[in-house]
Amino acid sequence: MANTQVPSTEPRRDRINPVVFYGSAIGIVAFALWTMFFTQAAGNVINTVLAWISDSFGWFYFLAVVAYLVFVVCIGLSRHGKLRLGPAHSTPDFNVITWAAMLFSAGIGIDLLFFCIAEPVTQFLAPPVGEGGTPEAARHAMELTFLHWGLSGWGIYTLVGMSLAFFSYRHGLPLTIRSALYPLFGRRIHGPIGHTVDIAAVLGTVFGIATSLGIGIIQLNFGLHYMFDIPENTATQAALAVLIVVFSAISAVTGVDKGIRRLSEFNMLLAVLLMLFVLFTGKTLFLLNALVMNVGDYLAHFARLSFDTYAFDPPSDWLNAWTVFFWAWWIAWGPFVGLFLARISRGRTIRQFVAGTLILPLTFMMAWMSIMGNSAIDLVMTGTASVADFGEQAINNPGSSIYLFLQSFPWVGLTTVVATILAIVFFVTSGDSGSLVLSNLTSVLTDPNHDAPSWMRILWAAIIGVLTLALLMAGGLGALQSTVVVMGLPFAFVLFLMMLGLFKALKVEGLKEDSLRGSMAGHLSGRLPGEGVSHHWRQRLSRTMHFPNHEQVQRCLGEAVRPAMEEIREVLGEQGITAELVEAEHLELNVDLGDEPNFTYQVWPHRSAMPAFSIRATRAGTHYYRLQVHIGEGGQGYDIYGYTKEQVIADILDQYERHLFFLHTQRELPGGETIMPDTPSATGRST
């Protein structure tokens, strides 16, 4: 088959990617040390760069985020929405409930607790425009909160996850960002272009994760001070940063990925219980009415909010601290969460993926932010002087807001413990998952399901911890926000390249589908040359009512399929075309077409449940076997058991003609270039 990788005489094995690993790691460590030892100078430089980016590219962040969302929605609704993120025959690895829980655990971290109170209260008391503390300010505060946590950000995750899953699981490319650019740059993605793109992804990811962990450290530090009077200072924050390294190292050495996943699901259950507690112990009817109103406001004003750059009345530093920061933060987290979403979504269609990653998280986020945020706003509007202090604390010390908020509800001791457990587990899982993703992004893995070695995860956990502490020392939350805006900008441009690459690849997939109609293939005809019509339909009916066992399908493979493949291989060889016959648990014919994508035809014995209407179900067991055809795109869904050698030859030629017609159609594209890698041999397994 045509090779899409850089040629090598050594056997393929998992290894470090030295350019990406050392380039990004050395740069990050150097930045962290510079920030720690030259704190004031570093802070000045970061603020200067932030001001330049905000003045020059603030509008770009607004347009980019909308473009990402519109693109994924259009792809999901298009004809390409039915394509699977994997071979055509693949099925999802997880049911909808488990998949939804994992979506939440991937895209929602400790920020869920940090901002659910702090942002609505801040936007209510200090809105970007207008007077604060009014009912109008309360409605607008929730609109802005929904904007920052709703569809727009999840559109970024959907774009990255969809691209990675499509190119890795459907076309066998590595599970890294560079793979999404193959339609644009071809094999050059294995050189400097690919290295640059992956380094940009690593930088965005590590600074995005460091921002979340820094927020977690700030909140945990206040929680520990609140419950145990542990001081809020750099020493405590350094100790918490060390916890990132320790717990991530334990996870890497003991291999508790499943345990971390279960902890994430447990955390989501705790979050739901805490939300329901606030709903039913607070002003339930008010909160339900407010939720409906907030959803209506958000959907009705989504377009206006998404493009509102406050050009005529720009609020001082508000855009940098909120909308621009959030868009850059979502972009920076894109490679991290997108890779995780790709890993758990193999086998789903693009339409299912887009709908699930947009609608399911949005539903939860709207309920969570509305119930928690409106409860907090109501406390400020109707509360006593002590609660008024709570509003000021939420603005000036956001990490304290969730703990001060829970003081207004019963069982404050229990709810405080629950909030702390939520923070700790989100804190640990973010560090562990982040180190895993960064390790994979800086490695060359032979299989998308492989993970980098434990020592790399330990090292990346240490790098994340050092960087987080360095940014906290350089200015706390402000430095974290400023740096993520700066580091998110390069990857924002990479995302546009991913969009273009995915669009070109899906265009080729459309050509494949069109070639089936445009060619003269009739692969389902099962025609019998020289036989009468009566004999033809009787044989087809007999075959459909026959449910063979394993021995019978093996006999068919030996008596009809193998001779058919051997005969075609011989004839192609006479014409100077190299063809290879592979015999394993299946039979496979590979036709080498040089620089063009190769042709692959496989026949797999597939064990299936016996239909209930079959009389044989009561006499010969509960299962039978099908001989299913697979080509480069995966399983084709039809059974050729009972075909004669001539019929199998006809079917192979039908598929071969279809493939050649597709190559012809692709060459007719502007430029006449091959814009997709050679698809790997389709596996006969459904997962």
**Count of CB atoms within 10 A of residue 574's CB?**
8
589-600 burial: b if 16+ Cβ within 10 Å, else e: bbbebeebbbbb
SS3 540: helix
**Count of CB atoms within 10 A of residue 362's CB?**
18
SS3 string of 459-513?
Answer: HHHHHHHHHHHHHHHCCCHHHHHHHHHHHHHHHHHHHHHHHHHHHHHHHHHHHHH
Each residue's pLDDT tens digit, 557-586: 888 888 988 888 888 888 888 888 888 888
Give the pLDDT band of residue 486 (cuts 50, 70, 90). Answer: confident
**Sequence-ordered alpha helix ranges (H) in 383-453:** 385-396, 401-406, 412-441
pLDDT of 610 higher than 80: no
Q: Are strands 443-444 and 15-16 parallel, antiparallel or unpaired?
A: antiparallel
Each residue's pLDDT tens digit, 617-671: 445 567 788 888 888 777 777 788 888 888 888 888 888 888 887 777 766 655 5
The pLDDT value given to residue 261: 60
Of 40-44, 80-84, 503-507, 535-539, which range is least confident?
535-539
**96-107 and 323-344 are packed helices; what angle lies between their axes, rounded to 10 degrees?**
140
Each residue's pLDDT tens digit, 375-428: 999 999 887 545 557 888 888 888 788 888 998 899 988 998 888 888 877 777
The pLDDT value given to residue 674: 47
Amino acid present at 197: V
Q: What is the mean pLDDT of residues 503-516?
A: 78
Average pLDDT score, the chain: 80
Residue 548 and residue 625 in contact, taking contact as beta carbons nearer than 8 Å? yes
Domains of the chain: 15-509 (1.20.1740), 525-667 (no CATH)
Residue 133 and residue 124 in contact, taking contact as beta carbons nearer than 8 Å? yes
Percent of all residues in the chain with a pLDDT value above 70, rounded to a whole number = 82
CA dihedral 515, 521, 522, 523 (to 10 degrees): -80
Q: What is the pTM of this model?
A: 0.78
Give the pLDDT band of residue 234 (cuts 50, 70, 90). Answer: confident
For the chain, what's the residue count? 687
pLDDT of 460 higher than 80: yes
Amino acid present at 47: N
The pLDDT value given to residue 170: 83
Rounded to whole angstroms, the Cα distance separating 364 from 385 reads: 32
Each residue's pLDDT tens digit, 282-301: 999 999 999 999 999 999 99
Amino acid present at 23: G
* Residue 277 structure tokens: 């507690």
Percent of all residues in the chain with a pLDDT value above 90, rounded to a whole number = 22
The pLDDT value given to residue 48: 84
Give the pLDDT band of residue 156 (cuts 50, 70, 90). Answer: very high
The pLDDT value given to residue 287: 96
pLDDT of 7 higher than 50: no
